[in-house]
């Protein structure tokens, strides 16, 4: 078997059974990267010496019966906003060129302690502030399904590296959809935990109140194991998660406004499949959701600009203009409006929790559109802006409400189905998603 095409969990079990060595897995990934014609558009920089050293240590632990967990010895890629000691971490921005941290981010240090192997850093959207995945400042990875299309962002290289078999899984970050969108557009599973559930020290911030790191992988099991690794917690038990008996709420209304035909059809086909597997399906369009979504311009851009204003205004010419404009929109929001916006959102979060309390998860299309043509986006700033806002529309629901959310592939390429759980209910959501995955792949 070509282990590089398997899930990270399958690779971990193969290591445990002595069928493959972590050294061979790592060398195979590094060789696949070196041979790939688009490697320099996917990886910002590699860490082969670190990877081989970590793989040798994992090999020795396996031989001694001292493995640290299921994924001990499995090679990962890392988004380039996650600090790695002695290796440049530039967050896809010329503003941070040459930035070399002296220690690993906590999530990377935790993964290292769990025995995972660091292959290197992947390209991303500039400072993580776009859902399309374009970055003419450093590099735009090719969409793994069609190189002419946008890859999704901001964890674009993370998704593409996994989808093309160059890494077993990846760790990205999500502020408004940056894990789930590239996962959906590249045929992967992407899990955004609840903010506060993952240590963010050493992750270059965008909007700290929304930012959270999480996995992009080939299965829900992989995401559960990786979530455990980066948080230094035990992995959840998914073995008895079954679709029959689940009660899921289809979130009608806003997620379908101006949605394109293909993502909606793929979602409805997936819902029908879930229903035939014994899942109880309800539908509702809570009126309060429109009020939630209206708060996005008041909250995201001001926090992002407040975080980066000094760097940006020192060298605005170093930025891609559409991204610069997104940041600068934050300076138009007053401090009283920002504070009032958060007070309103806190109230609406409580109302949301009451509204959906009887459901195991809320489901909706991961993205209302298919990935647009990359060159068309680059050629037309207005098209870039309108497609970016629509791209992020559905995923932002979970970010604004402070929820864990996960995107699963559907039968239609580049179309995902997303499930959102209650705030803090990350492990329960992973169990629901595992059951959904079983129904969708049956």
Phi first, then psi, for residue 268 (nearest 5°) are: -65, -35
Other beta carbons within 10 angstroms of residue 148's beta carbon come to 12
Token representation of residue 102: 């002296």
* Rounded distance between C-alpha atoms, residue 153 and residue 128, angstroms: 8
In terms of Cα–Cα distance, which of 226, 193, 239 is closest to 406? 193
* Rounded distance between C-alpha atoms, residue 153 and residue 265, angstroms: 23
Q: How many helices and strands in the chain, by DSSP H and E?
A: 16, 11
* Rounded distance between C-alpha atoms, residue 187 and residue 286, angstroms: 30
Q: What angle in degrees, to the nearest 10, is found between the helix axes of 321-328 and 381-400?
A: 50
8 Å CB contact between 182 and 172: yes
Token representation of residue 137: 């400042």
In terms of Cα–Cα distance, which of 248, 282, 241, 277 is closest to 363? 248
- Residues that are catalytic: 79, 154, 178
- β 75-79/117-122 pair status: parallel
8 Å CB contact between 228 and 222: no
Token representation of residue 30: 């590094």
* Rounded distance between C-alpha atoms, residue 192 and residue 179, angstroms: 7
250: exposed, middle or buried (Cβ count in 10 Å: 0-12, 13-18, 19+):
buried
User: From residue 19, how far is each of 28, 72, 73, 198 by CA, in Å?
Assistant: 15, 14, 13, 33
* Rounded distance between C-alpha atoms, residue 319 and residue 294, angstroms: 27
């Amino acid at each position: 078997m070509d282990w590089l095409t398997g899930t990270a969990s399958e690779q971990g079990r193969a290591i445990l059974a002595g069928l493959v060595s972590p050294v061979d897995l790592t060398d195979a990934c590094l060789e696949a990267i070196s041979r790939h014609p688009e490697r320099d558009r996917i990886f910002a920089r590699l860490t082969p010496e670190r990877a081989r050293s970590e793989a040798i240590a994992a090999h020795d632990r396996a031989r001694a019966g001292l493995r640290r967990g299921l994924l001990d010895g499995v090679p990962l890629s890392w988004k380039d906003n996650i600090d790695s000691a002695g290796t440049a971490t530039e967050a896809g921005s010329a503003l941070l060129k040459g930035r070399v941290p002296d220690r690993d981010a906590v999530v990377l240090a935790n993964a290292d302690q769990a025995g995972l192997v660091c292959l290197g850093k992947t390209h991303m959207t500039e400072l993580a502030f776009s859902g399309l995945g374009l970055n003419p400042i450093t590099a735009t990875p090719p969409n793994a399904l069609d190189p002419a299309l946008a890859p999704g962002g901001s964890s674009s290289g993370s998704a593409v590296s996994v989808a093309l078999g160059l890494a077993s899984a990846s760790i990205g970050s999500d502020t408004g959809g940056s894990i789930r969108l590239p996962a959906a557009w590249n045929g992967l599973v992407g899990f955004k935990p609840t903010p506060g559930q993952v240590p963010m020290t050493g992750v270059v911030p965008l909007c700290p109140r929304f930012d959270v790191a999480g996995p992009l992988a080939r299965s829900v099991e992989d995401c559960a194991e990786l979530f455990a690794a980066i948080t230094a917690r035990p992995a959840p038990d998914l073995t008895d998660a079954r679709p029959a008996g689940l009660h899921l709420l289809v979130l009608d209304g806003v997620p379908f406004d101006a949605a394109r035909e293909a993502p909606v059809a793929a979602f409805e086909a997936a819902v029908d499949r879930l229903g035939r597997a014994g899942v109880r399906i309800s539908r509702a369009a809570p009126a309060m959701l429109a009020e939630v979504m209206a708060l996005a311009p008041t909250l995201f851009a001001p926090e992002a600009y407040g975080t980066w204003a000094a760097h940006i205004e020192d060298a605005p010419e170093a930025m891609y203009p559409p991204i610069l404009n997104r940041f600068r929109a934050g300076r138009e929001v007053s401090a009283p409006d920002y504070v009032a916006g958060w007070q309103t959102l806190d109230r609406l979060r409580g109302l949301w929790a009451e509204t959906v309390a009887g459901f195991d998860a809320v489901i909706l299309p991961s993205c209302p559109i298919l990935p647009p043509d990359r060159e068309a986006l680059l050629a037309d700033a207005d098209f870039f802006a309108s497609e970016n806002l629509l791209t992020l529309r559905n995923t932002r629901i979970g970010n604004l409400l402070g929820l864990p959310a996960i995107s699963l592939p559907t039968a239609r390429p580049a179309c995902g189905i997303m499930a959102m759980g209650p705030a803090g209910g990350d492990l329960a959501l992973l169990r629901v998603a595992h059951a959904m995955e079983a129904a969708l792949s049956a």
